């Protein structure tokens, strides 16, 4: 497959927008500071491809008037902190062509790496203040089908906000009025507030800000970071999902009713411990990404535009996870999630506000070769897209035939849970593991579902 770039340009808001520095919350600037890639595939759109491109760009320009922070740039301030400069410099829009048909890609879920179809960011050679927050690539296939590569800064937005923008862009492209404008004031998460004078919790009580466990007998995770990794997508039919839920909810071992997310996450964690051949007393953690919009008191405003997510950590030993029931491991997931409430979130914000330098809590590996938290062996990190409105994005020529995450920045231990293509409760687990572990993981992952 060879992709030819025809044109790359900046698309700016169609009208003048507010300009100035926008304060970012602590939740915006801790964790992943790179861009998140997603891709959409569409069948033949129109015989007049030029009109398609012009419609996409014109509607994008109109949508950016309402979502003007995305047309800005990040800038550094003191203490490793960032601000958003709303300067209307625009988003990058690339037009490209590829010398294959859509059908040549076969099963999309078995071809998760589409690096040539998703715009990349040269972090090392492009100054932060010159790097677009949003990069788009529209690629036309020989058959007339096309793809949209969507790459957006995780400092600017989380998944909910990114997809809010995408859905509104699609509405405008279809000729409809904007549905729901974004809520742009991040002060509801105390963005820009000064350092507080006291802290009720310390770093030991916020495990997500402490280094994850490393393998017994090793002094660092450097060796594990260097291991070759690979990515796969594992399909879970409705039947397999229900089998996992039934195992997790088996009585009399538990009176709790665990969700499919909790059961699948617990199953993946146990499986990883098994195939990595961890010692029984090996400590292991799983980082769980939680949307806090409805967990704050009061809840965040509707269509809050920014990052409203926090990572929390479930821990255990490999021995107890492997020997325990799926219900036992699921309860560790549930207990960790349930502690995220308004008090917890304010303590997280208080803790971060008291840090002299936030950069130690940022994943800067791709930008400055600095090492952020590593949730590879013996750990995992899970993100759920189950509640994200990623499907049914129609720009006026029909809904997508497939959408999925890009994988160009995945690390060992990263896994993502998505709704399955079949719907009705089926799931897909997108997983990155070391090459030496992947085949064993796939075998044990499926086999152990069938075990009593």
410-447 pLDDT per residue, tens: 789 999 999 987 668 899 999 999 999 999 999 999 99
Given pLDDT bands bounded at 50, 70 and 90, which one contains residue 110? low
- The answer to whether the beta carbons of residues 207 and 313 sit under 8 Å apart is yes
pLDDT digits (tens, 9 = 90+) for 314-334: 999 999 999 999 999 999 999
pLDDT digits (tens, 9 = 90+) for 135-179: 999 999 999 999 999 999 999 999 999 999 999 999 999 999 999
- The answer to whether the beta carbons of residues 63 and 176 sit under 8 Å apart is no
The per-residue DSSP string of 10-25 comes to EE--SS----EEEEPP
The predicted structure's pLDDT at residue 372? 64
The predicted structure's pLDDT at residue 69? 98
In the residue annotation, 437 being an active-site residue is answered as no
- The answer to whether the beta carbons of residues 313 and 373 sit under 8 Å apart is no
User: Sign of the CA dihedral 423, 441, 266, 433?
Assistant: negative
Helix (H/G/I), strand (E/B), else coil: 110: helix
Q: What Rg value do the Cα atoms of the chain yield, rounded? A: 22
Can you list the positions of beta strands (E) in 47-201?
73-76, 82-86, 91-98, 134-140, 146-153
Q: Which of 296, 237, 268, 284 is nearest to 431 (CA)?
A: 268
The predicted structure's pLDDT at residue 111? 55
Cis before 393? omega within 30: no
pLDDT digits (tens, 9 = 90+) for 358-377: 888 876 544 444 456 788 99
Cis before 77? omega within 30: no
The predicted structure's pLDDT at residue 31? 77
Write down how long the chain is.
452
Which residue in this structure is represented by tokens 């589409």?
114
Give the C-alpha separation, 304 to 187, whole Å.
11
- Side by side, the strands of the sheet bearing 402-405 are 3-11, 91-98, 134-140, 146-153, 35-42, 402-405
**What is the pLDDT averaged over residues 274-293?**
97
The predicted structure's pLDDT at residue 358? 87
Q: Which of 154, 206, 267, 437 is catalytic?
A: 154
Mean pLDDT, the chain, as a whole number? 91
pLDDT digits (tens, 9 = 90+) for 43-63: 977 779 999 999 999 999 999
Alpha helix locations (H) across 144-276?
A: 159-173, 222-225, 238-248, 260-275
Contacts of residue 317, defined as CB under 8 A and 6 or more positions apart, other chains included, come to 280, 281, 282, 283, 284
The per-residue DSSP string of 413-432 comes to TEEEEEE-TT-TT-EEEEEE
More confident residue, 129 or 369: 129
Angle at Cα 418 formed by Cα 412 and Cα 421, nearest 5°? 125
The predicted structure's pLDDT at residue 202? 47
**What is the pLDDT averaged over residues 255-284?**
96
Structural domains in the chain?
A: 3-189 (3.30.559.10), 210-450 (3.30.559.10)
State both tokens at 254.
């538990």
The predicted structure's pLDDT at residue 193? 86
- The answer to whether the beta carbons of residues 282 and 377 sit under 8 Å apart is no
Helices 260-275, 326-338: axis angle to 10 degrees equals: 120
Is the model's pLDDT at 79 over the cut of 60?
A: yes
Give the C-alpha separation, 151 to 131, whole Å.
12
Is the model's pLDDT at 284 over the cut of 90?
A: yes
The predicted structure's pLDDT at residue 209? 81
In the residue annotation, 394 being an active-site residue is answered as yes
Among 99-113, 132-146, 213-227, the minimum mean pLDDT is found in 99-113
- The answer to whether the beta carbons of residues 31 and 134 sit under 8 Å apart is no
The predicted structure's pLDDT at residue 113? 56
More confident residue, 30 or 280: 280
* Full-model pTM: 0.93
State both tokens at 195.
């350092």
The predicted structure's pLDDT at residue 203? 43
Residue percentage of the chain with pLDDT more than 90: 76
Give the C-alpha separation, 158 to 438, whole Å.
29
State both tokens at 452.
């009593």
């Amino acid at each position: 497959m060879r992709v030819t770039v025809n044109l790359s340009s900046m698309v700016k808001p169609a009208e003048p927008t507010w300009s100035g520095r926008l304060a970012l919350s602590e939740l915006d600037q801790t964790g992943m500071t790179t861009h998140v890639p997603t891709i959409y595939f569409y069948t033949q759109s129109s015989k007049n491809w030029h009109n398609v491109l012009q419609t996409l760009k014109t509607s994008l320009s109109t949508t950016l008037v309402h979502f003007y922070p995305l047309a800005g740039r990040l800038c550094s301030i003191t203490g490793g902190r960032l601000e958003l400069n709303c300067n209307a410099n625009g988003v990058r829009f690339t037009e490209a062509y590829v010398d294959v048909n859509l059908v040549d890609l076969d099963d999309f879920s078995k071809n998760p790496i589409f690096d040539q179809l998703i715009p990349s960011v040269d972090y090392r050679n492009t100054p932060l203040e010159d790097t677009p927050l949003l990069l788009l690539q529209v690629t036309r296939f020989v058959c007339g089908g096309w793809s949209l590569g969507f790459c957006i800064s995780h400092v600017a937005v989380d998944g909910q906000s990114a997809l809010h923008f995408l859905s509104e862009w699609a509405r405008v492209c279809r000729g409809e009025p904007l549905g729901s404008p974004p809520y742009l004031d991040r002060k509801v998460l105390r963005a820009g507030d000064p350092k507080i004078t006291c802290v009720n919790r310390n770093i030991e009580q916020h495990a997500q800000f402490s280094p994850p466990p490393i393998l017994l007998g090793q002094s660092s995770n450097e060796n594990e970071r260097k291991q070759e990794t690979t990515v796969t997508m594992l399909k879970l039919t409705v039947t397999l999902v229900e089998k996992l839920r039934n195992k997790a909810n088996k009585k009399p071992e538990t009176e709790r009713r665990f969700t499919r997310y909790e059961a699948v996450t617990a199953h993946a964690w146990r499986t990883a411990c098994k195939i990595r051949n961890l010692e029984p007393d090996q400590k292991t953690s799983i980082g769980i990404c939680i949307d806090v919009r409805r967990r704050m008191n009061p809840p965040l405003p509707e269509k809050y535009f920014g990052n409203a997510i926090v990572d929390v950590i479930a821990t255990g030993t490999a021995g107890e996870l492997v020997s325990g029931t799926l219900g036992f491991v699921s309860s560790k997931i549930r207990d960790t999630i349930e502690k995220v409430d308004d008090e917890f979130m304010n303590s997280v914000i208080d803790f971060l506000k008291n840090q002299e330098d936030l950069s130690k809590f940022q994943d800067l590996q791709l930008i400055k070769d600095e090492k952020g938290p590593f949730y590879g062996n013996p750990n995992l990190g899970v993100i759920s897209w189950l509640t994200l409105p990623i499907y049914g994005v129609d720009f006026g020529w029909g809904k997508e035939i497939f959408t999925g995450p890009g994988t160009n920045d995945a690390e060992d231990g990263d896994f993502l849970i998505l709704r399955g293509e079949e719907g009705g409760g089926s799931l897909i687990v997108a997983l990155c593991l070391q090459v030496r572990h992947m085949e064993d993981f796939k075998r044990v992952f499926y086999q152990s579902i069938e075990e009593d």
